[in-house]
Amino acid sequence: MPVWPALVAVAALALLSAHLLGVSAAQTTPRSDSAGAEIPRRGGTLIYGRGGDSVNLDPAHAIDGESLKIADNVFDTLVRYRLGTTELEPALATSWEVSKDGLAYTFHLRRGVTFHDGTPFDADAVIFSLARQLDPRHPFHKVGGRYLYWDAMRMADIVERLEALDPYRVRITLKQPEAPFLANLGMNFAAIVSPAAARRYGETFSSHPVGTGPFIFERWRKDDRIELRANPSYWEGRPYLDRLIFRSIPDNSVRYLELRGGAIHIMEFPNPDDLPLIERDRSLQLLSQPGMNVGYLALNTRRPPFDNPLVRRAVNHAINKEALVQVVFGGRAQPAVNPLPPVIWGYHDGIAAYAYDPARARRLLAEAGLPNGFPAALWAMTVPRPYMPDGLKAAEAIRADLSQVGVTARIVTYEWGTYLAKTRNGEHDMALLGWTGDNGDPDNFLAVLFEATSNANIAFYQNAELQDLLQRAKRSTAQTVREGLYRRAQEIIHGDAPWVPLAHAVQVLPMRRNVQGFVLEPTGKRRLHRTWLR
């Protein structure tokens, strides 16, 4: 079928779906309080259109953004980031104290909270949720496989022991002071799960998540949708919405047509070419802010010829980032110099970017003994991501650039979950990937992505001086000291060039005009507790 008739058919289907689902209801006069502020309406179903399906709904096992979106709404953590910021505030812990030596954290737990299965939240639930990741002797330590985020954050090297002091007090003792520790506890891997549900479902808990969060999991139709309903007993108050549906719509253009037609309320990852149309559409709105992210090309330093820094520097000089930002991101990104985004403290603005210089790239390859270039596999994700709206388009642009210096790149793709697993296993030569910061701390980029033992280090890069710097930065409580260490770390990474840092994408989110109360978050979280439909 020709493309245009197909899109018309999709648009017609979107309008029909909108009518059947009732998501394009007629506008009514909004109510206001005595100060003139609009009063949020209760009820309704919000349909969230995303580019791919989740992989794992157990927050301790989830490592991909599509899974974490669900965790954001089903689970709570002891501490959390204030909506729209990376500032910490109480959540399941109402308060906490830190010992003078910086080793013991005592948390006072919120009372009267229940899990979605009706069982009580208490200190034992906190210990269960964290100990299953920490303690190899815990009966659930091997359930669901490795705890990849826990490992990436090096939590086993940080936490000495977990103790329930009484039903509503928990003490976590560290092996050494750890500056980012409290911020780490706001991340999804530290979410508190129902021990009763984990025991009931065992290996299948990853598809039957039970937390204390504002929405309750109902069903998961693989590669289609995940449905949640409001938690009427949520400790912070019932959500405004009755239901949430996360729909998987892989094609960006189809997702946009469904948004225009009213079949979905929010869409992720629009084609950059569609953004001006969205901005001019009076039925839509576009939220936008600088992104705390980086999209990158990882060069597998365990595989020749990428074990040679001359080759890695040559690849950096071969790629035209300015053109890539225009072609792939529609200009809504900043060419990257460092792996750390400029919006995070500690960013090194004194490092000069690798200039786009094909002639210099060819000279470096000749110096490395490869005057005629070499063949290599270039891996690309097939799902849009916050740090890269179109991985295949980016790969095609990079392949064209590399061909100008004699590097023949063959593009390789896999289903998203398989792609992540295979890159962690190091099966690639070069691979496109990216990262959105979890907590606003430089450690969450530099340590997670470059520590030698981290499973997120898909360049398999090792540098002894860098490892020492990152460990010293973790243990210092003085931000000025940490900033200096992180600046030096960025200099080392830049020189060794295990990556080509490509771009820091602007975070954009189109939605229907009647969606109210949604806040873009620098961490990429999608919390919909306070979102409502006008």
SS3 content of the chain, % helix, strand, coil (to 5): 35, 20, 45
pLDDT score recorded for residue 317: 98
Q: Percent of the chain beyond pLDDT 90?
A: 90
Nearest alpha carbon to residue 323 among 299, 356, 275: 356
C-alpha 351/C-alpha 490 separation (Å) is 8
Beta strand 374-379 with 430-436 is: parallel
DSSP designation for 467: H
pLDDT score recorded for residue 152: 85
Q: H-helix or E-strand containing 465?
A: helix 464-475
> Which sign does the torsion angle of CA 395, 450, 350, 314 carry?
negative
Q: Residue 217: pLDDT band by 50, 70, 90 thresholds?
A: very high
Domains of the chain: 1-57+222-289+508-534 (3.40.190.10), 76-212 (3.90.76.10), 293-505 (3.10.105.10)
Radius of gyration in angstroms for the set of CA atoms belonging to the chain, rounded to a whole number: 24
pLDDT of 21 > 50? The answer is: no
Number of Cα atoms under 13 Å in the Cβ half of residue 180 = 25
Least confident of 63-67, 121-125, 164-168: 63-67
User: Which pair of tokens denotes residue 463?
Assistant: 């540098």
List pLDDT tens digits, range 465-514.
Answer: 999 999 999 999 899 999 999 999 999 999 999 999 999 999 999 999 99
Q: H-helix or E-strand containing 225?
A: strand 225-230
Q: Residue 37: pLDDT band by 50, 70, 90 thresholds?
A: confident
H-state helical runs in 32-95: 65-74
List pLDDT tens digits, range 107-136.
Answer: 999 999 999 999 999 999 999 999 999 999
pLDDT of 12 > 70? The answer is: no
User: Which pair of tokens denotes residue 147?
Assistant: 């705890």
Burial class (CB in 10 A: 0-12, 13-18, 19+), 464: exposed
C-alpha 345/C-alpha 522 separation (Å) is 13
**Average pLDDT across the chain, whole number:** 93
